[in-house]
Structure 1
Amino acid sequence: MTGKKEKNDNEKNTKEEIKDILKERVDAEPELLEEKEGSDQKLLEFYSKQDLVKKVKDYEKQLEDKDKKINDLDGWKKKFTHLQAEFENAQKRWDKSRQDLRTQYKASVLKDFLPFYDSFKKALDSDHENDTLKQFYNQFLNILKFQGAEPIKVNINDSFDYSIHDALSTIEKADIPENKIVDIVQDGWKLGKDVLRYAKVIISKKPKPPEPEPEPESEATPESESTAEETNIEKDNTKN
């Protein structure tokens, strides 16, 4: 009887150990811990120790696989985020290039129309009382402005600015500081911040200082000539 009782106690202890292992390792999965229908107490449906060890290893392997998949997903997520950022940057560069190309094309076309503006302006300066010519000039000017072009404002006595002015020549002016605009030969134009055509101007420069007059040569007097002759005679006598 004692041996049988010890055997039952050992089996009971084994069941309790297995139950604790299952609770810790597999969180009491339904296939391992089941509740018997029609019974007042919970009985443990257990496997052999080898099966349990294998089961635990399988779960650990599954957890490792899941962790690896999660890491792989994180890696793909980073790659996707990087590719998305590169695509957005490429899209911005493409939009900027397309806008720059459009601006260059518009600038090229507007440059071809500037000689017509010069002709209208020259004709209007010659006949400023002609209302018809003035009307055509204003209409043409409005067309250029509607396309975003506008004249560069230049006034006499403005300081020369190489970024918008083109100096054709210089004139010496004593009463005007150096590098001041004294004449406007041709109007300049710009499209937004870009220069379509530089304003052609003439600028001032300081006059050169007058050269000093040469000193007059002194005329030799008869006395100095006779003195020089006497000196030469004395030199000749000394040599002899």
Structure 2
Amino acid sequence: MSDDNDNEVPVHVKSTEKDTNDLEPEQLSEEQNSLEELQRLLEKEQQKTQDLENKLKYALADFQNLSRKTQSEIENGINSKVSQFMLDFLNIYDDFKRAKDAFAKNEGNIEGLDSIVKNMDSLLEKNNVSPIEALGEIFDPNLHEAISVINDSKLDDSTITKEIRKGYISQNRVIRPSLVEISKKQGEDK
């Protein structure tokens, strides 16, 4: 029998009755500590999850704001290009109308020119470009650009007496201000 015992690993067995009674409060305390530790870990992970959810919400909000801003910048860029095109077109339009008026003064046939002007007018209307009515109005620096002043005691100050170049507006944006002459009451110094 001694040969069989040489190959065996010694196992220490404690008496269950005595040890259970002695270790039960200890085991209970360890279990309680372990449970508290697990609860702390759970709360910590829940906080991490909440933080990540908040970061995700902020990132999504930032993305949506960036998307709106980008869309707005694209629209503004397009509007700017359209406005620049219209400004260039309006210069040609004004030249053409002056040429037509000069041709009419020389008693030339202007029917063809009138047709072209009507087409240009409809193009402007189609693109929501309308002239700024200035003559007789009070000067508005947002719509008009004063290039001369006349003394006139019959008119209120800053009344537009002459429109030198027509101004245009599109979608509440001034494409080109009107060039105007304004009145000033005589005897007043400003």
Query: What range describes the TM-score normalised by the shorter chain of this pair?
Result: 0.7 to 0.9
Residue in structure 1 matching 2:45, options 69, 82, 87: 69
In the alignment, which residue of structure 2 is the partner of 1:6? none
How many residues align? The count is 164
Partners of 1:203 and 1:62 lie apart in 2 by 83
Shift of 1:52: 4.3
What is the TM-score of this pair, normalised by structure 2? 0.73
Partners of 1:177 and 1:197 lie apart in 2 by 25
Point out the more displaced range, 158-167 or 140-149.
140-149
In the alignment, which residue of structure 2 is the partner of 1:112? 88
SS at match of 1:88: helix
What is the TM-score of this pair, normalised by structure 1? 0.60
Partners of 1:184 and 1:154 lie apart in 2 by 7
Residue 133 (str. 1) matches residue 113 (str. 2)? yes
Q: In 2 relative to 1, CA 58–118 (structure 1 residues): closer, same or farther, beyond 3 Å?
A: same
In the alignment, which residue of structure 2 is the partner of 1:154? 134
Partners of 1:205 and 1:56 lie apart in 2 by 93
Bigger Rg, structure 1 or 2: 1
Partners of 1:174 and 1:86 lie apart in 2 by 59
Indicate the structure whose relative CO is greater, using CA pairs within 8 Å and at least 6 residues apart.
2
SS at match of 2:64: helix
Q: In 2 relative to 1, CA 117–51 (structure 1 residues): closer, same or farther, beyond 3 Å?
A: same
Q: Which runs of 5+ in 2 are unaligned?
A: 1-16
In the alignment, which residue of structure 2 is the partner of 1:180? 159
Note the aligned Cα RMSD (angstroms).
2.6
Q: Which runs of 5+ in 1 are unaligned?
A: 1-10, 19-47, 210-240
Q: Which has the higher strand share?
A: 2
Residue 193 (str. 1) matches residue 169 (str. 2)? no
